[in-house]
Structure 1
Amino acid sequence: MVIARIDPGSDRRWQTFVENRPDAGIFHTSAWLEALRQTYGYEPVVYAATDRNGLVNGVPFCLIHSRLTGRRLVSLPFSDHCQPLASPEELHVLLAAVKDDATENNCKYVETRPLTPYESGITTAAELTQSHDAVIHRLELHRSRDDVFRGFQKDCIRRKISRSEREQLRYEEGRSEELLQKFYRLLLLTRRRHQLPPQPLLWFRNLIGCLGEKLKIRVASSKDGIPIASIITLSFKDVVTYKYGCSDPRFNALGGMVFLIWRTVQEALNEGAAELDLGRSDHHTPGLIAFKDHWGARRYRLTYYTYPARSGGPANAGLFMAAGKRLVAAIPDPLFTRLGGLLYRHVG
């Protein structure tokens, strides 16, 4: 099997392959990869085997250059997961080519983030080591609306849905600059509260520009018109992905986040979606894990792998977050929004 290295931005064969591959998701798309390139300067590359009909398989990576965290190949940065679109036998050959390129480019390491853990044969043959362990929640939607609703935890979810209805919360969705600004103001509140640097506004603008109708900003406002919660969801094929969420803590009792996710679930059901991907949760966030459990979503193990062996999560994320917390605590508000643009490209 001869391995080709293709540019997913200019070679339309990749997007055609992704559209026709049943296990491909939003993070495989050329649009997602282009947003990563535009925002952070990463170099997307797909390792794939081809025949006369097009691509046979493929795994997308981004080549990251950073003076702070080193050069590396990651599949994929700022993506909860990226399942290799290849059989185990094919994957072994693809990863061998990736490792060769990593050596040639003086990369510190290669990282893959599959949706399902690799079989032991793959990790042994490719000399991969587990570098990060998390969980992902997936809510199955092959049921009636009533069946899905009955799966919600009574006190934490169903009662909050009722409360949000009594409060007459207002709902908006779209991709306008006005909605983006509402989302981003709430994001800054949330990141400041958690003492974490915010993602750059440019990232969200590029996601909107690249993904188009596959992305929705959803905003909940009080009956007085005050934005209280917002989420960003992504849609591809029959899967809806909850990617970002934020809120104003002064209004948490109104149930804005629950209101938005419930609206998303109902819309997904109406459109025939098979699944709501509630995203990755790290083990040090038990509250977030419990919140997703309460929706009746199934919890799965999410494991990242590196070559050569390393630990500590994506791009020394622990060190980055510790440094970020120190900066967040010290800098004034006008500089807070610039911090993410300075730091995030180094930790994809």
Structure 2
Amino acid sequence: MKLEIVNPVDYPQWDEMVLATDDYSFFHSSSWANVLSASYNYKPAYFALIKHGKLLAALPIMEVRSFLTGSRGVSLSFSDYCEPLIEDKEYFKVLLDAVISHGKKSDWKHIELRGGQKFLSGKPESAKYFGHALLLSKNDQELLSGFRDSTRRNIKKAFHAGVETKICTTLQSVGEYYRLHCMTRKRHCLPPQPLDFFRNIYDYIISKNRGFVVLATYDNTTVAGAIYFHFGNRALYKFGASDDAYQHTRANNLVMWEAIRWYAHNGYLTFCFGRSDCDGEGLRQFKKGWGTVERNINYYKYDIGEDKFINTIDAEKSNCTMLLGKMPKPILQLTGQLLYRHMG
């Protein structure tokens, strides 16, 4: 057994080794590493203990170098969660110590972990979220019976209103989704991710049969869409967007139902709805309405200079959001293109 710093982008056995672990997710895959490194020029440094071709432990890190926000190691950038792939607590200590040592030599300001609470009990959290996951069944009625009445009604409402959904795997469908994505981010006073990020999602995920787009049309207009990823037998809802003018059609519900049915019928076992902010009660209730199991997702930040885990608060977040919300959509898109690589 030896400790290696692996780049999954050029490590042929990486995905196979990851899929043999218990806590794997799509975010551990080489596909996601490819998207992050190609989109933002991050350097993958996945700390791993490997023995005879078996992955005993892994702590994935993306090295982010920014003149605006400083250099740091993140596990993993733009990922809802990324649990360390570790069963033995002693292995976690070995890998974390190695990451800290590497960070000191590389002049990182800090290390961010998006998961790992079972190893970090008693340490201060830097952020808290909710996660929601649905256990899948191949039987539609069994799935529907676990949904809230309101969720089932909204699916029926969309269907009877004439909303139509389609699963797509073309670059054109990604572009159509991106149009809705920019509208939705503007509505929430947030810059959209760069278009190149979504093109890389197509190149490294969708075109490789690890994801797809679901688009909903109403009266010959695309009114809602979502992007889904899959890895092993686990599915993930990553991005969703819609035209608010057609919110009354409940197209978002039919989009989600189309994806859930596809994954259930194709043998996937779990469907993850991603993370939700603790103060986002509306989104939280939407996800709970699908019969999901809720869990806590904790993030941690290790300050290299102070040599300890610290608690952080996003000061002035609301003021910044208000300012972004007043920007015209083209300026907001340019802001995202310029700033996202510094935010990971």
TM-score (norm 2): 0.92
* In 2, Cα distance between equivalents of 1:143 and 1:79: 28
* In 1, Cα distance between equivalents of 2:117 and 2:238: 21
Mark the CA change 1:16 to 1:320 in structure 2 (over 3 Å): closer, same or farther.
farther
Match of residue 330, structure 2, among 326, 329, 334: 334
- SS of residue matched to 1:179: helix
- Give the letter aligned to residue 118 of structure 2: Y
* In 2, Cα distance between equivalents of 1:319 and 1:209: 36
How far the C-alpha of 1:144 sits from its partner, in A, is: 3.2
Equivalence for 2:211: 215
Equivalence for 2:90: 89
* In 2, Cα distance between equivalents of 1:233 and 1:260: 11
Contact 2:155 2:254 in 1 (8 A): yes
How far the C-alpha of 1:167 sits from its partner, in A, is: 1.4
- SS of residue matched to 2:86: coil
Give the paired residue count: 336
How far the C-alpha of 1:302 sits from its partner, in A, is: 0.5
Contact 1:170 1:225 in 2 (8 A): no
- Give the letter aligned to residue 92 of structure 1: K
How far the C-alpha of 1:187 sits from its partner, in A, is: 0.8
Equivalence for 1:109: 110
How far the C-alpha of 1:68 sits from its partner, in A, is: 1.5
Match of residue 258, structure 2, among 263, 269, 294: 263
* In 1, Cα distance between equivalents of 2:98 and 2:48: 10
* In 2, Cα distance between equivalents of 1:82 and 1:182: 29
Contact 1:242 1:278 in 2 (8 A): yes
- SS of residue matched to 2:93: helix
* In 1, Cα distance between equivalents of 2:42 and 2:112: 15
- SS of residue matched to 1:57: strand
Equivalence for 1:61: 61
- Give the stretch that moved more between structures: 45-54 or 76-85: 45-54
Match of residue 132, structure 2, among 128, 134, 137: 137
How far the C-alpha of 1:172 sits from its partner, in A, is: 2.0
* In 1, Cα distance between equivalents of 2:261 and 2:36: 30
Task: Spell out the pairing of 1:303-318 with structure 2 (5 A cutoff).
Answer: 303-308=298-303, 309-312=309-312
- Give the letter aligned to residue 287 of structure 1: G
* In 2, Cα distance between equivalents of 1:38 and 1:319: 31
Contact 1:197 1:324 in 2 (8 A): no
* In 2, Cα distance between equivalents of 1:249 and 1:235: 28
Equivalence for 1:40: 40
Contact 2:65 2:72 in 1 (8 A): yes
Identity across aligned pairs (percent)?
A: 29
Superposed CA deviations along residues 50-92 of structure 1, whole A, max 9, x for unmatched, are 2343543212110001111111101001001111111222111
- Give the letter aligned to residue 99 of structure 1: I
Task: Spell out the pairing of 1:244-323 with structure 2 (5 A cutoff).
Answer: 244-308=239-303, 309-312=309-312, 322-323=319-320
- SS of residue matched to 2:220: coil
Contact 2:214 2:227 in 1 (8 A): yes
Contact 2:236 2:272 in 1 (8 A): yes
- SS of residue matched to 1:182: helix
How far the C-alpha of 1:123 sits from its partner, in A, is: 4.9
* In 2, Cα distance between equivalents of 1:203 and 1:32: 11
* In 1, Cα distance between equivalents of 2:138 and 2:330: 47
How far the C-alpha of 1:19 sits from its partner, in A, is: 3.2
TM-score (norm 1): 0.91
- Give the stretch that moved more between structures: 208-217 or 16-25: 16-25
- SS of residue matched to 1:290: helix
Runs (4 or more) in structure 1 with deviation over 6 Å come to none
Contact 2:191 2:332 in 1 (8 A): yes
Matched, 1:186 2:187: no
- Give the letter aligned to residue 100 of structure 2: K
How far the C-alpha of 1:142 sits from its partner, in A, is: 4.2
- Give the letter aligned to residue 173 of structure 2: L
* In 1, Cα distance between equivalents of 2:101 and 2:226: 40
Task: Spell out the pairing of 1:2-13 with structure 2 (5 A cutoff).
Answer: 2-13=2-13
- Give the stretch that moved more between structures: 172-181 or 246-255: 172-181
* In 2, Cα distance between equivalents of 1:251 and 1:154: 22
Contact 2:229 2:237 in 1 (8 A): yes
How far the C-alpha of 1:138 sits from its partner, in A, is: 0.6
How far the C-alpha of 1:291 sits from its partner, in A, is: 0.7
- Give the letter aligned to residue 259 of structure 1: L
Equivalence for 1:241: 236
Mark the CA change 1:50 to 1:239 in structure 2 (over 3 Å): closer, same or farther.
closer
Mark the CA change 1:265 to 1:52 in structure 2 (over 3 Å): closer, same or farther.
closer
* In 1, Cα distance between equivalents of 2:229 and 2:25: 10
* In 2, Cα distance between equivalents of 1:232 and 1:221: 15
Unaligned stretches of 5+ in structure 1? none
Equivalence for 2:341: 345
Mark the CA change 1:241 to 1:205 in structure 2 (over 3 Å): closer, same or farther.
same
Mark the CA change 1:246 to 1:299 in structure 2 (over 3 Å): closer, same or farther.
same
